[in-house]
Chains A and B, each alone.
Chain A
Amino acid sequence: MIAIRDPGLRAGRAGRTREPTRQLLRDVSGRIGWAVLAWAVALAFFLPVAWMVLTAFKPESAAETWPPQFTFSPTLSQFQLVFSGWGPYLTHSVIATVVSTILVLALGVPAAYALSLQPIKRWRDGLFFFISTKMLPIVAAIGPLYVIALKTHLLDSIWVLIILYTAMNLPLAVWMIRSFMLEVPGELLEAARLDGAGRIREIREVILPIVSPGLVSTALICVIFAWNELFLALNLTVTNAATMPMFLISSVPQEGLFIAHLCAAATVASVPVIIAGWIAQRSLVRGLSLGAIK
């Protein structure tokens, strides 16, 4: 692969063997090979999603057949069913996701600052502590969490999800934002200090504008994790705070055919994340390659 990429090496080899045509052929076939591989992987990821969307438009009778039917009369009846019952779930999910993500960013930025640009004493330990909270399986914590939620009367309240989603995403966000902040040139911070910017001004006027693409990527990841979270929601909420993943589960009836209905619900549930991702796309690429931009 390196030999293919490196024009100097390519030229040298072609010159030695005096067979530029064969070299060119190998180049082209190599490139085609990579393209095929890339598409194969992409399709492997995309096919189940495509099948889900397709099935959502099928009548229940056509959904679960073997071999799969590709000719059917598309129907929106499954979606009608979904839209008739999703209201409260959607609201809860949006609130829990948006509020927890805002909280994560509000807490994550100062924390990351204190662990990168103005490192506190023993910042390494602090950083490790943050990530260590992710090492405990959430199953092990659910018992105590349930008791705490019960005692604080937060059971089946949207607040318990907001708090837990914030706590759940914060370590990752701190690590991400910290790595983006480390990319801010030290000279800039010194210039800001000489210009008389205090700490708040320095963060708001100098650092945040530079790391904002990174913040967008961080926010997107937090949104995805919070939106798709099921375990905590399932165990700590019933109706007053039930979220979209719970709606998906509730779409599964005790008896009868349900595949098409489930697919419609799953399609609907994934649309907001896709939209968020699409909006964040440009920033995401910039954010994830922040270090490459000088």
Chain B
Amino acid sequence: MANVRYVSATRVFGKGMPAAVDGLDLDINDGEFMVLVGPSGSGKTTALRMLAGLEPLDGGRVEIGDRDVTFVPPKDRDIAMVFQNYALYPQKTVAENMGFALKMQGVHRTERDRRVREAAKLLDLDEQLLGRKPKQLSGGQRQRVAMGRAIVREPKVFLMDEPLSNLDAKLRVQTRSQIAELQRRLGITTVYVTHDQVEAMTMGNRVAVLSGGQLQQCATPRELYDNPVNQFVAGFIGSPAMNLRTVPLTDGGARLADRVLPLPPAIRTAAREAGLSELVIGMRPEHLHVTAASPQADAARDLDGSAELTGEVILVEELGADALLHVRLPEGGNQVVARAEGRKPPTPGQAVTLRIQPDDVFAFHPVTGARLAG
């Protein structure tokens, strides 16, 4: 077990190309489940491969357990990796696959056997599967064998490169919780790469959001969700995504469609200090409370200080427990997505009122994307 550190780790694939990973600084604690998440091309997989030793560094260094491993070959880093396509040796049996690393280390056959069996039990892999070849297994079983191959080594760090992307949706959710639970039980530091922010949020102790080779924010899932440091993180984390709109500033707040959205004083001050005439506001769908348009609602606004928008429902996405409403706001025809109670969602064409607390409104710099205090 060990902590992992990236210190200004940089990787450039070609001359004149932007860095795939650009000066990454990241501290991963001993036993922590760290998820690297980002869209494709964000450098998350490259960052993982740098840690694995499969990708050389063009700058900075990587440490495992306070030891600089930048120039250490992969096999001497005491790590185990689960690949996206599992990379099981097709001509070897499951047991041989899982025990291959131990064989390379010269571990005795009986000891190898014992550890393979132990790992198989841990992963609910049937004894009889151990004699089979990978192509005789289902996708889920292959995935577990790939996990098993990593576990058998008892490494200092697990590296996982989108290990669930080849499973169907149901199995993915199931395996997701199994991996997270297993990692907690084993307590082995894990770096997990995914493009799926739901996976990132549900599995990680902390999540590092990357974009364009740069670390945007590294925090707990809750912190990322509640306090994104910039527009990218705000838009990337959360499903459905946050509603982001560039709107002009007015005296009391921001003008959105035909209404003025009151903004908290802190944001107004920050915007004034930055000399902005417009800013980007963000509203999470569940913060837009849906009520049927009515005069009473207007009266209620003055009581709790919340803002309200009116619009027409153009699409309803039923999710079962709740429903997503695509609402077109007047003037400019901007659309926003709001989350509504699933039982009796409004129907398309219906006029609705969306209420939001000023404190729930995020604000970002329109050029840099940085969060404005709030």
Pick from B75, B84, B91, B105: contact of A193, CB below 8 A: B75
Distance in Å: Cβ of B95 to nearest Cβ of chain A: 14
Q: Answer whether A194 and B90 are a contact pair too, CB < 8 Å, given A185-B85, A201-B104.
A: no
Inter-chain contacts of A205 with B (CB < 8 A)? 89, 92, 100
> How distant is the Cα of A194 from the Cα of B54 in the complex, in angstroms?
9
Pick from B52, B54, B79, B91: contact of A210, CB below 8 A: B91
- Taking a contact as CB atoms under 8 Å apart, the answer to whether B105 and A196 are in contact is yes
Number of A-B contacts (CB under 8 A): 56
- B292 at interface, CB cutoff 8 A: no
- Taking a contact as CB atoms under 8 Å apart, the answer to whether A197 and B87 are in contact is no
- B151 at interface, CB cutoff 8 A: no
- A125 at interface, CB cutoff 8 A: no
- B74 at interface, CB cutoff 8 A: yes
Inter-chain contacts of B81 with A (CB < 8 A)? 190-191, 194
- Taking a contact as CB atoms under 8 Å apart, the answer to whether B87 and A188 are in contact is yes
Q: Answer whether A187 and B83 are a contact pair too, CB < 8 Å, given A195-B75, A196-B75.
A: yes
Q: Which residue of B lies closest to A187 (CB)?
A: B87
Give residues 62-76 of B contacting A (CB, 8 Å): 73-75
Distance in Å: Cβ of A289 to nearest Cβ of chain B: 15
- Taking a contact as CB atoms under 8 Å apart, the answer to whether B105 and A194 are in contact is no
Give residues 202-235 of A contacting B (CB, 8 Å): 205-206, 209-210
Categorize the interface residue count of chain B. Answer: 20 to 34
Distance in Å: Cβ of B55 to nearest Cβ of chain A: 10
Say what secondary structure dominates the interface of chain A.
helix
Give residues 154-179 of A contacting B (CB, 8 Å): none
> How distant is the Cα of A191 from the Cα of B161 in the complex, in angstroms?
12
Q: Which residue of A lies closest to B89 (CB)?
A: A206
- Taking a contact as CB atoms under 8 Å apart, the answer to whether A188 and B74 are in contact is no
- B80 at interface, CB cutoff 8 A: yes
> How distant is the Cα of A205 from the Cα of B75 in the complex, in angstroms?
16
Inter-chain contacts of A192 with B (CB < 8 A)? 89, 100
Q: Which residue of B lies closest to A208 (CB)?
A: B91
Distance in Å: Cβ of B133 to nearest Cβ of chain A: 11
Inter-chain contacts of A206 with B (CB < 8 A)? 89
Contact with A along B99-120 (1 / 0, CB 8 A): 0110011000000000000000
Pick from B75, B85, B89: contact of A194, CB below 8 A: B75
> How distant is the Cα of A194 from the Cα of B51 in the complex, in angstroms?
12
On A, residues with C-beta under 8 Å from B are 185, 187-188, 190-197, 201, 205-206, 209-210
Q: Which 3 pairs between the two chains have the least Cβ-Cβ distance?
A: A209-B91, A196-B104, A196-B75
Can you name 15 extra interface pairs (CB under 8 A) apart from A190-B83, A209-B89?
Answer: A185-B85, A185-B87, A187-B84, A190-B87, A191-B87, A193-B75, A194-B53, A194-B80, A194-B81, A195-B75, A195-B100, A196-B105, A205-B92, A206-B89, A210-B91
